[in-house]
Amino acid sequence: MTPLQRILLALVGLLAAGILSLAGWLVWSNTNAAPPALPAEPSPAAPSPQPTATVTALPTPVERTAEPPTSTAPPLIQPTDPAPAACLPAFGTRAQAQVVEVLAANRIRVELDGQKQEVLYLGVELAGVPEPALAANQILVEGQTVTLVADSYDNDPQGNLLRYVLVGETLVNYTLIRDGMAITSLNPPGIACDATFLAAERAAQADKVGFWALPVPNYDPATRVTAAAPPCPCDTNFTCADFTRQEAAQACYNACGDYRNAALDPNHDGIACEQLP
């Protein structure tokens, strides 16, 4: 090998060594510059999941607080139903009284303005056996402070007060009729709660409660007169002593119905005043 060739070979070796050194330095530079960028990667991503979790958790309690109005909606409809006391006359005077004694299913003695007076329930008439009806009235009003409401008629011929009787919001007159413990009185006529009481009577009759559990003929309490002139006034309770002949008592009984003249047929066999000739 000539001297020139040796020189060229040495130069090539030096050049190759320089290239390798440069490549190594670049690799080292890139390796040392990368770490400073690494800590920046988690910092923007770390807080982002937390707000998302907080927002999605809020609707749950809001929905729960909205449930109770839905579940309580049905009872809110009930107070709009017609109440029995709605029939009471707006013009009727009202007075508070203390019940001193329960005399019958439709009669009480009260202390009113320092005086004792008897009160006859408006629109309420005795029917059937009196003892259960008396007991029912005692349960409703005995010892209670009651509200007495007047209608167009103030007193009966005996001087007793004619009144609707309330214990709180309970209309006692209506309750006795609806429970089958009394029937609707048609005397005096045209009182404000007449239609309400007759409707209560029909309901008690349909349910067969109280007096209506007895085997009585089917009769519409709203029918006060028949197509032909009745043989007796149907708004009056008769006894067998009011008739001299059985056929006359039977005609009255047939025209006005058994329950409004129960005394004519106490055993409910359909035959009135069997003892009369």
Residue range(s) defining the domain that contains residue 181 = 84-214
pLDDT tens, 63-103? 333 333 333 333 333 333 458 999 999 999 999 999 999 99
Spatial separation of the C-alpha atoms in residues 109 and 98, rounded to whole Å:
9
Residue 135 included in any domain: yes
Determine, yes or no, domain membership for 69.
Answer: no
| pLDDT tens sequence across 187-214 | 788 899 999 999 998 899 889 898 888 7
Q: Is residue 27 part of a domain?
A: no
Say if residue 153 is in the same domain as residue 109.
yes
Question: What is the number of domains present in the chain?
Answer: 2
> Are 103 and 210 part of one and the same domain?
yes
Examine residue 137 and state whether it is found in any structural domain, yes or no: yes
What is d(CA 46, CA 166) in angstroms, rounded to the nearest whole number?
73
- Of the residues 164, 186, 214, which one is the last residue of a structural domain? 214
Do residue 114 and residue 206 come from a single domain? yes
Q: Please report, for the domain that includes residue 123, its CATH number.
A: 2.40.50.90
Say if residue 252 is in the same domain as residue 231: yes
pLDDT number for residue 227: 37
Range of weakest confidence among 26-35, 52-61, 129-138: 52-61
Can you read off the two tokens belonging to residue 240?
A: 């067998």
For residue 265, is it within any domain?
Answer: yes
Residues 233 and 183 in one domain: no
Same domain, 124 and 145: yes
> CA-to-CA distance for 66 and 84, rounded, in angstroms?
35
Domain-located, residue 139? yes
Looking at the structure, tell me whether residues 164 and 241 fall in a common domain. Answer: no
Q: What is the Cα–Cα distance from 10 to 187, expressed in whole angstroms?
A: 145
How many Cβ atoms are within 10 Å of 12's Cβ, its own excluded?
Answer: 10
Mean pLDDT lowest among 65-79, 102-116, 121-135, 235-249: 65-79
Same domain, 180 and 258: no
Helix 59-71 × helix 49-57 angle, to 10°: 0
Residue 256: inside a domain: yes
Predicted confidence at residue 160, as pLDDT, reads 93
Q: Does 9 fall in a domain? A: no
Contact present, 255 and 261 (Cβ < 8 Å)? no
CB of 105 closer than 8 Å to CB of 182? yes
Which of 185, 214, 243 is the endpoint of a domain? 214
Q: What is the DSSP letter of 163?
A: E
Predicted structure pTM score = 0.56
Query: In the structure encoding, which two tokens stand for residue 138, read together?
Result: 């005692």
Distance between CA 234 and CA 276 in Å, rounded? 21
Q: Which residue has the tokens 């008592």?
A: 249
Q: Are residues 129 and 210 in the same domain?
A: yes
Q: Give the domain-ending residue among 198, 214, 230.
A: 214
Same-domain pairing of 108 and 209: yes
Same domain, 111 and 202: yes
204 and 277, same domain (yes or no): no
